[in-house]
Amino acid sequence: MKQRHKRFERLEDVYQYIVNYKIQCDGVSPTIRQICKGTNVSSTYVVYTHIEKLKDDGRINYILGDKGKVSGYAVTGGQWKSPNGV
């Protein structure tokens, strides 16, 4: 049971890191390695699985770039607004 609780905490840490990063960086999404560093998770695979879980839960969506590759994340219900109001 303790293992499940730890996994949930990490999932929330990853989600909060993405949200806070996007707020602080004008809507730009963090890379998986930046999320690893910011959440103290050493494995990019673990972060990737958390991102997939957040996507499956509908909390984030992928932003697709050229050739259909993921170029960022959109937070469901989130809306970035320019500090200039533009």
Q: What is the DSSP string of 15-59?
A: HHHHHHHHHHTTTPPPPHHHHHHHHT---HHHHHHHHHHHHHTTS
Domains and CATH numbers, the chain: 2-75 (1.10.10.10)
Span 27-48, mean pLDDT?
94
Position 1 pLDDT exceeds 60:
no
pTM to 2 decimals? 0.81
Helix, strand, or coil here: 7? helix
**For the chain, what is the mean pLDDT?**
85
